[in-house]
Structures are given as C-alpha cells and as structure tokens.
Structure 1
Amino acid sequence: MTDGGAMLPWLVIRQDDNGNRYRVGSYATQDEAQRIADSLGGRGPERLYWVERMGQAAPS
C-alpha cells in the first residue's frame, strides 16, 4: 500500500464489540502505528486496537 508512492506496511486495526475489524490507517513505521493505536485505545466501549504488518495474521 502506498500513499504518494511511499511504502506504508504497518496497519492499525480496530475491532469493535461485535467482532467487526476495520483498518484505521497505514503507517511507514511500527512505532508510528503503535503511537496511533495507543492514542485510540481508551476511546469507546469494547474497542480493541492493535498494530500488524501488512499480510500478517490478525490476533484471535
């Protein structure tokens, strides 16, 4: 995945209380993606955020 030609292999994924998973964004580094996931982690009931590399299996 690219944004203006840059590689953005790190994804922030959200899972809601119904088990639905959504891609929140794509980032160039794992640290950047983790900062975003950490900043979103406390919002809303039963929402989980995590970081994964594109093509990596999601946690179960």
Structure 2
Amino acid sequence: MSDSGAARPWAVIRQDGNGNRYRVGSYATRAEAERVAERFEGAGRRQLYLVERIGGAHNGN
C-alpha cells in the first residue's frame, strides 16, 4: 500500500481571484514545491500560488 502524502508532503496550491483553490502538484520537499510555485508565478499567471504541507500537524520542519 502506498500513501503519496507521506512520500510527497508538500503541495503547490493555485488560488484564483474568487478564492477557489486547486492542487497543482505534490512534492517531496518544501524547497522543490517553492521552486515550482515561483516558476508558475514567473510565467505571468495572475493566480496566487501557495505552498502548503499536506495532512495534519507537523513538528516544525
């Protein structure tokens, strides 16, 4: 059994002007997710791209 949330606990979320949110990808590290979000923003897209940890609480990492 595989839990993709455990293998890729960081998500890039796209939020549009109406507040609708969509997950565009899941990544193994926060740094990787931030790089992807920056690429989307740098491509001139008007939506907001956020990086969030998938799942419950974490221990500060």
Question: Given the two structures, how large is their TM-score scaled by the length of structure 1?
Answer: 0.75
Segments of structure 1 that go 5 or more residues without pairing to the other structure are none
Higher percent of residues as helix: 2
Report the aligned-residue RMSD.
2.0
Higher strand share: 1
Between the two proteins, what is the percent identity of the paired residues? 58
SS in 2 for 1:41: helix
Q: Which has the larger radius of gyration?
A: 2
After superposing on structure 2, the runs of 4+ consecutive aligned residues of structure 1 that deviate more than 6 Å are none
Q: Which runs of 5+ in 2 are unaligned?
A: 57-61
Aligned residues: 53
Look up the equivalent residue of 2:22 and give its one-letter code.
Y
Q: Secondary structure at the match of 1:12?
A: strand
* TM-score scaled by length of structure 2: 0.74
